[in-house]
Structure 1
Amino acid sequence: MSVPLYQAKAELFRTLGHPVRIRVLELLQDGPKPVRDLLAAIEVEASNLSQQLAVLRRAGMVTSHRDGPLVVYALSTPDVADLLAAGRRILGAVLTDRDALLDELRAGAATAPAPAPAPAEGDRDRAGRGR
């Protein structure tokens, strides 16, 4: 029985939900790389990298082949690089919007009237309001 498309998409995005996996995919955008090069660039334990590569392989996002004693990984399709580029654009837009909102809040704080000081203790009427 096949899964609904939205569920398959959710699984795809869960696969991308680990920083080591994202970094591997980023590095592979420049072309196939042996595991030793990935390991040197990412600086994680070999067993951790191996686990993350296995997840990416099972998800179909990378392929691997042997080249003599080396195991070389590559993106399974250029669409993976396109997905990473889209993520970068989205992140840039979101962060820009947040920066703009933060600037607006800061500018508003500088121009907003100061709150009225609370009335002094002797300046209250019987209802507790300032005169």
Structure 2
Amino acid sequence: MEELQQFKADFFKALAHPLRIRILELLAEGDKNVNELQALLGSEGSAVSQQLAVLRNQNVVYGTKDGNKVKYSLRDPMVIELLAIAREIFNNHLINAISMLDRLKDDGDGAEKIPNQ
């Protein structure tokens, strides 16, 4: 059981960077090499390579030689579902925050009224 918890912790650590998340989103659209990722991200190649190394070390992505370049792929397509679920959770939090702000704005007891914008 402890091995599973450690795997999960390490897996989520590998995802715990905005650039790595964006790389995974791009790889969900199809395999890409470092130059393609760099162009899409508008980021330095070294930064992209460093983040790919983290993802590779945790077996989230893998590389395949394609001539003199390496094409990167998602190791498990379920990562796409995980990212979609994370987006849904984010949206739920956003909806709850907006709802709370609306309630505060409509609150007639004079407590912490938010001005209309």
**TM-score, normalised by the number of residues in structure 2:** 0.88
Equivalence for 1:22 = 21
Give the Cα separation in 2 of the matches to 1:100 and 1:37: 40
Distance, in Å, in 2 between the alignment partners of 1:26 and 1:45 is 18
Secondary structure of the 2:64 match is strand
For residues 29 and 113 of structure 1, do their structure 2 counterparts lie closer, same or farther at Cα, with a shift above 3 Å needed?
closer
Which is greater in Rg? 1
Aligned positions of 1:60-99 closer than 5 A: 60-99=59-98
Percent identity for Structure 1 against Structure 2 = 43
TM-score where L is the length of structure 1? 0.79
- SS of equivalent residue, structure 1 residue 4: helix
Larger RCO: Structure 1 or Structure 2 (Cα < 8 Å, ≥ 6 residues apart)?
2
Please report how far the alpha carbon of residue 4 of structure 1 lies from its aligned counterpart in structure 2 after TM superposition: 2.9
Distance, in Å, in 1 between the alignment partners of 2:2 and 2:76 is 22
Structure 1: gaps (5+ residues): 115-131
Q: Which runs of 5+ in 2 are unaligned?
A: 112-117
**Corresponding pairs, count:** 111
CA deviation profile, 1:26-85 (whole Å, cap 9, x unmatched): 001111112111000112221111110000001111111111122110111111111111
Structure 1 consecutive aligned stretches of length 4 or more whose deviation exceeds 6 Å: none
Within 5 Å, give how 1:1-40 maps onto structure 2: 3-40=2-39
What value does the CA root-mean-square deviation take over the aligned residues?
1.6
SS at match of 2:96: helix
